[in-house]
């Protein structure tokens, strides 16, 4: 039987009774857009993140876009970010008309290299968009200090880091705004799309609320230009159920990651490293191998599904050629992209299946890479 790299259906099945009841509650209420379920989930998720305000939106990409627009970022502006990320991060910047400026990542954490940020700042820099990748926080403090020094706000892309901590505090509330995705495979996943913007700033939260629904304070009267980006009642109700289990499921992810660490310790793979500044939640378990493609094919032939997050850095993708980056521009990013492989990891993964994955990896190294 195939071992999937991710399995959102298994998470539904784990909470089927409660999720089905939540869906029925919404259907029977007759209120399907921006009602009590969204309002309740916003309060609950804000409390979980340790902030005062949360605004539900249509997706994680739209959360980033609306956060940038709430900060009045637009044409002629620059936003510093990383190329080793989902293209959604960069799409959100482009939607505002601003220019993404890429910096390299740390080889140990796969997140933004703080030492590269300051030299990327120009007179046009209007934000630093930090990505917490694979469930691990970026090293925020030096980046926040640079932002303070140059009066540039820091936005957190937390799409893969629900519940991850930095110096004991959950991510999302360190920068001026934090943005989350609830795509089905996330640590906190909807059954469909969804996103959230969190902040301690009441004025910013109000601006995001206006932007997500045509700029309406009064229905049908737009006080500012806006969009249609609303988290719907069904998804909010489902996410309320799942939020209650998030810490337990993150602990399970950490347990499974620890088992991988143990079983793969003697292999030539480069395994994930936990940074001393925070606790990751292992959205993905990402290893590195110079023989990545051969290993992936070997595992696929034995029913083990893997992923590559992400195979081509954004700065080298055809759509972004006009930004002027070339091969060699971000050497750490480019090397890592050639070597990374995401192994199966989700809370419902059986330990026996994980041991099978590890066994297949060991067999690959014995058979394909003999001494």
**Cα dihedral 256→262→266→270 (10° resolution):** 50
Contacts of 135 (CB under 8 A, 6+ apart): 160, 161, 164, 187, 253, 280, 281, 282, 283, 284
d(CA 91, CA 26): 32
Query: CATH 3.90.1150.10: which residues of the chain?
Result: 246-368
**Alpha helix stretches (DSSP H) within 52-157:** 60-70, 87-96, 114-117, 140-150
Q: What pLDDT is recorded for position 368?
A: 82
Name the pTM for this structure: 0.97
d(CA 83, CA 90): 8
Q: What pLDDT is recorded for position 198?
A: 98
State residue 313 phi and psi, 5-degree precision.
Answer: -55, 145
Query: In the CATH hierarchy, which top-level class contains the domain 246-368?
Result: alpha beta
Q: Taking a C-beta distance cutoff of 8 angstroms, is the pair 122, 78 a contact?
A: yes
Taking residue 228's Cβ as centre, other Cβ atoms within 10 Å add up to 10
| CA atoms within 13 Å, Cβ hemisphere of 50 | 13
Q: What pLDDT is recorded for position 371?
A: 59
Q: Which residues pair with 286 in a beta bridge?
A: 342
d(CA 159, CA 342): 17
Q: Which two tokens stand for residue 227?
A: 């969009």
Q: Which two tokens stand for residue 237?
A: 């109700």
CATH code for the domain defined by 8-103+110-243: 3.40.640.10
Q: Taking a C-beta distance cutoff of 8 angstroms, is the pair 104, 113 a contact?
A: yes
Query: CATH 3.40.640.10: which residues of the chain?
Result: 8-103+110-243
State residue 181 phi and psi, 5-degree precision.
Answer: -110, 145
What does pLDDT average to in each consecutive run of 10 residues of the chain (371 residues)?
Answer: 95 98 98 97 98 98 98 98 98 98 98 97 98 98 98 98 98 98 98 98 98 94 95 98 98 98 98 98 98 98 98 97 96 98 98 98 88 59
Biggest alpha carbon–alpha carbon distance for the chain: 72
Residue corresponding to tokens 């740390």? 106
Q: Taking a C-beta distance cutoff of 8 angstroms, is the pair 135, 163 a contact?
A: no
Q: What is the DSSP letter of 269?
A: P
Environment class of 235 (CB within 10 Å of its CB; exposed 0-12, middle 13-18, buried 19+) = buried
Q: Which two tokens stand for residue 298?
A: 């070997």
Environment class of 169 (CB within 10 Å of its CB; exposed 0-12, middle 13-18, buried 19+) = middle
Torsion sign across C-alpha atoms 264, 265, 270, 273: positive
């Amino acid at each position: 039987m195939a071992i999937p790299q991710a399995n959102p259906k298994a998470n539904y099945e784990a909470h089927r009774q409660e999720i089905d009841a939540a869906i029925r509650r919404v259907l029977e209420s007759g209120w399907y857009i921006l009602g009590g379920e969204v309002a309740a989930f916003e309060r609950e998720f804000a409390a979980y993140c340790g902030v005062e305000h949360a605004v539900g939106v249509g997706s994680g990409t739209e959360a980033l876009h609306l956060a940038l627009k709430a900060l009045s970022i637009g044409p002629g502006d620059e936003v510093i970010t990383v190329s080793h990320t989902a293209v959604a991060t960069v799409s959100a910047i482009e939607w505002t008309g601003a220019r993404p400026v890429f910096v390299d990542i740390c080889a140990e954490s796969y997140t933004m290299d703080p030492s590269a940020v300051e030299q990327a700042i120009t007179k046009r820099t209007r934000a630093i968009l930090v990505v917490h990748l694979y469930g691990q926080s970026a090293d925020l403090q030096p980046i926040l200090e640079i932002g303070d020094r140059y009066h540039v706000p820091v936005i957190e892309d937390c799409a893969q880091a629900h519940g991850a901590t930095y110096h004991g505090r959950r991510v999302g509330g360190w920068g001026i705004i934090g943005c989350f995705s609830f795509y089905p495979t996330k640590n906190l996943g909807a059954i469909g799309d969804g996103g959230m913007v969190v902040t301690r700033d009441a004025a910013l939260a109000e601006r995001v609320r206006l932007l997500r629904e045509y700029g309406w304070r009064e229905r049908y009267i737009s006080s500012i230009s806006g969009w249609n980006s609303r988290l719907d009642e069904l998804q909010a109700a489902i996410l309320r159920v799942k939020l209650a289990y998030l810490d337990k499921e993150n602990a399970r992810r950490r347990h499974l990651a620890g088992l991988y660490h143990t079983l793969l310790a003697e292999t030539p793979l480069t395994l994930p490293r936990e940074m001393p500044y925070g606790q990751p939640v292992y959205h993905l378990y990402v290893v590195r191998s110079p023989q990545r493609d051969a290993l992936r094919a070997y595992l696929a032939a034995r029913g083990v599904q893997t992923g590559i997050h992400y195979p081509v850095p954004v700065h080298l993708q055809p759509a972004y050629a006009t930004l002027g980056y070339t091969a060699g521009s971000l050497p750490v990013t480019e090397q890592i992209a050639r070597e990374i492989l995401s192994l199966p990891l989700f809370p419902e993964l059986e330990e026996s299946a994980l041991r099978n994955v590890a066994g297949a990896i060991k067999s690959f190294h014995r058979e394909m890479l003999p001494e």
